Amino acid sequence: MNFEAPPPVLDSARVVFYALVGDLAYRPNNRLYHGNTLVEKVPLLAICENLGNDVGPMLFHCDGDWTVLGVSGGDSVESCKFAAAKRYPGVESRWIDRGVSVGDALNYFDSLPGNSSCSFCGKRPFQIQGGFADGKDARICKECVDAYHAAFVEMANDSP
Ligand SMILES: [Zn+2]
């Protein structure tokens, strides 16, 4: 079975390892849901680390196009591999190192449509709360809107 390597980043997380499991016998383990849909046997797995908040390595359960169908956590890369092997015995010898640095992953993330940073504070989408307002050639995050708003109110109050 042919398969393509995943992009350097899946869902704002850097890909560390990946593996093909679609041809392995599947052994149901604890249930994993995506929304209300039970995620069972998938063709591809990836072990990823968030580019934003460090929540530790995560095991991504993906379809054949590397769309993430479900995520389960792990304390370490080894525990993610252990959890994967419970569902997909034989995956142990299949993990491929994606070999992408955090810097390269961030550059890739920035290049994706809609992922540009706040033009004012430089924070990336996964670093901000409350979303962006997009202008002609710039975007501003809610945190900056709030900060500039407060500054303008203060200026107005100071003026005679
Ligand atoms: Zn900002």
Cα–Cα distances in Å, from 112 out to 12, 101, 127?
A: 11, 17, 16
pLDDT at 39: 87
Residue 2: per-residue pLDDT = 65
CA of 48 to the centre of ligand 1 (A): 26
CB 14 within 8 A of CB 102: yes
Q: Quick check: 128 and 141 in contact, CB under 8 A? A: yes
Give tens-digit pLDDT for 113-152. Answer: 889 899 999 999 999 989 999 999 999 999 999 999 999 9
Q: What is the pTM of this model?
A: 0.84
Cα–Cα distance measured from residue 63 to residue 40, given in angstroms and rounded to the nearest whole number: 11
pLDDT at 160 over 80: no
Mean pLDDT score of the chain, rounded to an integer? 92
Q: Which residues surround ligand 1, an ion (CB under 5 A)?
A: 118, 120-121, 141, 144
Confidence at 31, pLDDT banded by 50, 70, 90:
confident
Q: Are strands 96-97 and 132-134 parallel, antiparallel or unpaired?
A: unpaired
Q: How far apart are the CA of 137 and the centre of ligand 1, in A?
A: 14
Distance (Å) from CA 55 to ligand 1 centroid: 23
Q: How far apart are CA 65 and CA 13, in angstroms?
A: 16
State in Å: Cα 159 to ligand 1 middle: 26
The whole-number average pLDDT for the span 81-104 is 96
